Amino acid sequence: MTDPSEELERKREESNVRADQWRGTRDRLNAQAREAADERGRILDELRARSSEAQEHRRRRDSLNTEVREEKKLREEWNRRLEELTEKTLAMRRAQSPRPGAVPVWRLKKELKELEFRHMTTALTGEQEKRLIEEMKRLEAAIRENDQQLRSNPEVEKALSDLVQAREEAEKHHAAVGHLAEDAQLEHEAMVTLYESCDELRRQADEVQARLIEVKAEADEAHRQHIAAIEEVRDIEKLLYAARGGRAPATWAAEPPREEDFLARLKKGEKVSTEDLLELQKSGRA
């Protein structure tokens, strides 16, 4: 007659092996989950740092754009002032009575420009170039003399000084607009690059998070299987205790199981209760 305790010993050993296997699987998966969590943490730390840096570039860009708008406003004001003063000085020049036989200043300046262009674009002999330069000097002297005469009027002198200041201010604010706009563009490009890298880091974090959830679910299932195998070992140990002489409980089934049914169920991998085994002992068949 087959000894049920031998079959139970075999079943207990199998259950112990399964419990160890599930525990190893669970521990391996938990280690992978911790690695994924650490990787996600590193990614999120880098994401926060880059996002903060991008926001700082954005703050500086917006500040620079505000300065650009202010400089443009000032440039427009000085350009209007420059136009007004230019018109005023031209009117004063036109109103000034030229000396008898004097050539108008506008004609002197036109002739000077024509000679300068000829000097730059025409091949001249040494003598021709000498005469050309002397004529240019004569025209420049005539223009200066006219300006000096014009500036002898205090009102004209002030208008001309204001004109120079207006031109300098307009050019200064124009240059500031260019520099500030260029700096703002650099800040904008740096911000965009960082935000794009943040998008990539978010994508990586989402992938790691999905992997973490998947591995954690597998680890939880392995833990449940490990616990189930341990409980199965404990149940078999109870049966072994009963098979080796344990006392039967007070409540017992009226129909004791037959030995052949008990062994058949055990070989099929089905669970048998402590009460079944005790009843076999009681009836003398175990």
What would the two tokens of residue 123 be?
A: 């091949």
169 vs 158: CA distance, rounded Å: 16
The pTM (predicted TM-score) of the whole model is 0.59
- Ordered structural domains, the chain, with CATH: 1-87+170-221 (1.10.287)
pLDDT of residue 1: 46
Question: At residue 103, what is the residue type?
Answer: V
* Distances from the Cα of 261 to the Cα of 63, 189, 247, angstroms: 88, 81, 21
Residue 2 has φ and ψ, to the nearest 5°, of -70, 135
Helix (H) or strand (E) run with residue 226 in it: helix 154-243
Residue 235's alpha-carbon distances to 18, 69, 168, in angstroms, are 15, 82, 99
**Local structure of 255: helix, strand or coil:** coil
Q: CA nearest 11: which of 263, 283, 280, 278?
A: 263
Collect all residues with Cβ–Cβ distance below 8 Å to 128 and sequence separation of at least 6: none
Max Cα separation, the chain? Answer: 154
For residue 122, how many other CB atoms are within 10 A of its CB? Answer: 10
- Distance of alpha carbon 229 from alpha carbon 183, whole angstroms: 68
CB contact set of 225 (below 8 Å; sequence gap of 6+): 18, 22
Distances (CA, A) of 239 to 170, 215, 224, 285: 102, 36, 23, 15
What is the C-alpha to C-alpha distance for residues 34 and 40, in angstroms, rounded to an integer? 10
Rounded average pLDDT per 10-residue block, the chain, 286 residues: 73 90 95 95 96 97 97 96 89 67 73 87 87 89 75 76 92 96 97 96 96 95 94 87 60 42 53 51 44
Closest by Cα among 179, 176, 183, 184 to 76:
176
